[in-house]
């Protein structure tokens, strides 16, 4: 019985990984097209003044209140809705894969980790970007811009994959740790 459960858990993780890899490919291809569309050819380093200038020209305006830049509608809404749709798809995959809320969360985080690593892997394969683990990237726009070096989301994604895998493969241990 236990061996059969483990086999089912491995199949579940394999299916989730295939889904997340495909999503990572799709997101990276979309990023490639968006870069070409807005004129960000070559290296995309958030600290590069040329990158900042292009992003400001294409997407940002300066507000009178504090001079903070923000993406202009409809670009902000479109990009945030795309990001929200990505999270919703990953959450739906987790929800459909898990039996308990803890397992659903584990499946979601596993998918998120695989998706994010696949995204950067495909960008590297297609564009040779990022040039280093220390390259700054615009990670997310919900609720506002998240900018960090590429190694940070990679490390978090590996933790998500490890915890998600362990939780799916060892559900009894995870449940025993919960206080009743």
DSSP per residue, 59-77: HEEE-TTTT-EEEPTTHHH
Q: Are 136 and 88 in contact (CB under 8 A)?
A: no
- How confident is the model over 51-55, as a mean pLDDT? 60
Specify the pLDDT at position 155: 98
Using one digit for the tens of pLDDT, what is the confidence trace for 64-92? 334 455 545 556 777 889 999 999 999 99
Domains of the chain: which residue ranges?
A: 2-171
What does the pLDDT read at residue 127? 86
CA-CA distance, 135 to 160, in Å (whole number)? Answer: 22
Q: Is the pLDDT confidence value at 61 over 90? A: no
Instruction: Report the 3 state secondary structure along 114-151.
Output: HHHHHHHHHHHHHHCCCCCCCCEEEEECCCCCEEEECH
What per-residue confidence (pLDDT) applies to 168? 95
Q: pLDDT confidence of 145, banded at 50, 70, 90?
A: confident
For the chain, what is the largest distance between any 2 Cα atoms, rounded to a whole number of angstroms? 66
The pLDDT-based confidence of 180 (bands split at 50, 70, 90) is very low
pLDDT confidence of 35, banded at 50, 70, 90?
Answer: confident
Higher pLDDT: 28 or 43? It is: 28
- When comparing pLDDT for 53 and 76, which is higher? 76
Contacts of 123 (CB under 8 A, 6+ apart): 28, 31, 32, 129, 130
Average pLDDT rounded to a whole number, residues 25-39? 83
Highest mean pLDDT among 32-36, 88-92, 143-147 belongs to 88-92
pLDDT on residue 55: 59
């Amino acid at each position: 019985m236990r061996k059969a459960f483990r086999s089912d858990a491995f199949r579940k993780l394999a299916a989730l990984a295939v889904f997340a890899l495909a999503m990572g490919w799709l997101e990276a291809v979309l990023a490639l097209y968006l870069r070409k569309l807005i004129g960000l050819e070559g290296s995309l380093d958030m600290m590069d003044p040329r990158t900042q200038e292009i992003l400001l020209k294409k997407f940002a305006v300066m507000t009178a209140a504090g001079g903070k830049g923000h993406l202009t509608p409809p670009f902000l809404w479109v990009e945030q809705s795309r990001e929200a749709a990505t999270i919703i798809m990953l959450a739906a995959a987790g929800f459909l894969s898990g039996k308990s809320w803890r397992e659903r969360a584990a499946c979601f985080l596993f998918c998120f980790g695989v998706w994010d690593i696949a995204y950067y892997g495909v960008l590297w394969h297609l564009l040779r970007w990022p040039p280093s683990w220390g390259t700054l990237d615009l990670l997310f726009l919900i609720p506002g811009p998240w900018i960090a070096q590429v190694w940070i989301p990679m490390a978090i994604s590996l933790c998500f994959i490890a915890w998600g895998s362990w939780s799916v493969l060892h559900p009894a241990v995870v449940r025993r740790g919960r206080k009743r």
